[in-house]
């Protein structure tokens, strides 16, 4: 099926080449690395958060869906709120040791606290 969304082609001139593909500046997500290959860093962050402490998990390599799933899993296990976007997971509160323990039980062996 042809993708005929004209909004993706704004600013593109006409082409007579039937095999021409429009460049829409969409980047493809990389495949998710196995759990034992992930190099996750766990750190405490208070900047730009009104003095509130959050646990920040960075270094996740994979699809956005897998990142959101891991973020939801961590939030449920810790019993707190948070979010997962832009390649990092935010868990409310200073839960670095607990998050490290949960990740290691799940198979993320290269996780570390910074």
Q: What is the pLDDT of residues 59-68, one digit of tens each?
A: 999 999 999 9
Question: Does domain 29-113 sit in CATH 3.30.780.10?
Answer: yes
Q: From the DSSP assignment, how many helices (H) and strands (E) are in the chain?
A: 2, 5
Q: Would you state the pLDDT for residue 25?
A: 64
63 by DSSP, 3-state: which?
Answer: coil
- Whole-prediction pTM value? 0.75
Q: What is the DSSP letter of 94?
A: S
| Terminal Cα distance for the chain, rounded | 48
Over the chain, what is the mean pLDDT? Answer: 86
Q: Would you state the pLDDT for residue 30?
A: 78
């Amino acid at each position: 099926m042809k993708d005929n969304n004209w909004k993706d082609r704004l600013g593109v001139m006409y082409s007579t080449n039937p095999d021409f593909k429009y460049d829409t500046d969409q980047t493809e997500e990389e495949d998710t690395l196995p759990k034992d290959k992930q190099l996750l860093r766990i750190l405490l962050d208070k900047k730009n958060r009104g003095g509130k402490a959050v646990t920040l998990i960075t270094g996740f390599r994979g699809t956005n869906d897998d990142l959101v799933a891991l973020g939801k899993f961590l939030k449920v296990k810790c019993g707190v709120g948070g979010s997962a976007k832009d390649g990092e997971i935010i868990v409310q509160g200073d839960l670095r040791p607990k998050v490290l323990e949960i990740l290691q039980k799940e198979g993320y062996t290269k996780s570390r606290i910074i």
